[in-house]
Amino acid sequence: MSERIRDHVFVRAFALREGDVRVLLLIHDLLMVTDELYFGLSERLADTGFNVMVHATHSHSSIGGLGKGFLFRRFAGNYREGLFNHLLDCGERAGREAVDNLRPAEARAESSVLPGLNGNRRDPDGPRDEELTVLRLAREHDSAVLVSYCAHPVIVGERDHHALSADFPGEVVRGLELEFPFAAFIQGSLGGVDVLFPDDPDLDADRNLGMMADPIVGSAANLAHLAKHSPGPLAFASETWDLPRRDSRPYFDDQLLSGPLGLPLRLVANSLIPSRIKQGRVQGFRVGSFAMVGTPADLGVTIGLAAKAHARKIGISHPVTASQCDGYLGYLHRRQDYLHAPPKSHFGMAFYENAMGFFGRDMGERVLRAACSVHDRLKG
């Protein structure tokens, strides 16, 4: 439990409207978005006529008490109804303020590679997504900047465990808002993705956060200034589907316990998965050459890279594939990522991510197909 506030946590809202297309993106400094939070905010804001997307930056040192059930209690503390209602109130207020503050704006987007700030925690030789993407919405007298990068916000949670914080996404936003009137952070792929966390017991949270956030702030600010006008209509698309039975499988296919010997472990893991999660959903919007597609998961890096490659193939130059959007289905990876166990140095996190795959090893492929379908519809 937190004993002090290192930095405040927020919900930030972006509203976009062009013709009959309306998109409202709410970005919370939270660990995750539960189905209840997504549906609650969607219902409260239904009268605006906007398509609502709810995203979490995945800070491991933000407030808890968000959901009911064993897993939620273990990861985020006992459910607190008053806190949950407060989150709904804050999200609704931010969303309505964004809608009321709509003014003509020009969309500008740019991307570049920013190496050295993340790695693959499942496979030392596995792929990384080191792309930094910026959307700048420029108005007559001000502008707003959305920045997206992939990394697990665990720095404060590990180095200053009893402090409440938005972790490095909060540092990035504060740094950018020294130059721009408004900024927000969109979390990219998280499955298999770590963060810059040097093995130095004397390195405190503040210094580690600076090592992580400062390069992102500097690069994002430069990209925001360099970004060119990105013409094209605003578009929104979504896809939902019914979920299969719960099917958590902690081990890899080439391990002995992956078969019948592992059945007791699988039964225990499946009994802990919330039974009220009934549907999967992927939603996204496009403005000019920028597109954000949100997935309800700690999205595996291979899925995120594949979805972005598909978007670029069909002409979307600056795609973002976000984790922690509009619900939660656990950790998702591609089917081939479950075939072979990694070295012992990486087995702990890989085992954990496998166990947190709630609905079987094909769900990652299902989400990838949905993400590509949403991109196709955004392309028009």
Concatenated DSSP letters of 174-223: HHHTTTSSEEEEEE---BTB-----S-TT--HHHHHHHHHHHHHHHHHHH
Question: Smallest Cα–Cα separation from 107: which of 136, 134, 139?
Answer: 136
- The domain ranges of the chain are 4-235+276-379
Q: Which residue has the higher pLDDT, 65 or 319?
A: 319
Give residue 278's pLDDT band: very low, low, confident or very high (50, 70, 90).
confident
In our burial notation (b when 16+ CB lie closer than 10 A, e otherwise), range 360-380 reads: bbebbbbbbebbbbbbeebbe
Q: Give CA–CA dist 302/127, Å, rounded.
A: 7
* Eight-state DSSP code of residue 101: T
pLDDT of residue 257 exceeding 70, the answer is no
DSSP secondary-structure letter at 7? S
Q: Mean pLDDT over residues 13-39, rounded?
A: 96
Q: Please tell me the least confidently modeled range out of 21-25, 277-281, 361-365, 368-372.
A: 277-281
Which residues of 44-173 form beta strands (DSSP E)? 51-56, 106-113, 131-138, 143-149, 163-164
Return the structure tokens found at 181. 């009137």
Q: Give the whole-number percent of the chain exceeding pLDDT 90.
A: 82
pLDDT at residue 266 is higher than 70:
no
Q: Give pLDDT tens digits for 66-81.
A: 888 777 877 788 899 9
Chain-wide mean pLDDT for the chain? 93
Structure tokens at 23: 């998109």
Task: Report the distance separating Cα 147 and Cα 321, nearest Å.
Answer: 12
pLDDT at 258: 60
Residue 317 reports pLDDT greater than 70: yes
Compute how many other C-beta atoms are within 10 angstroms of the C-beta atom of residue 258.
17
Read off the pLDDT of each residue in 304-326 and give the average, rounded to a whole number.
98
Tell me the mean pLDDT in the region 159-181: 97
Residue 267 has pLDDT above 80, yes or no: no
For residue 277, the number of C-alpha atoms closer than 13 Å in the C-beta half-sphere is 29
Distance CA 128, CA 237 (A): 27
Q: Which helix (H) or strand (E) covers residue 306, if one does?
A: helix 301-313
Cα–Cα distance, 294 to 32 (Å, whole number): 13
Distance (Å, whole) CA 164 – CA 3: 8
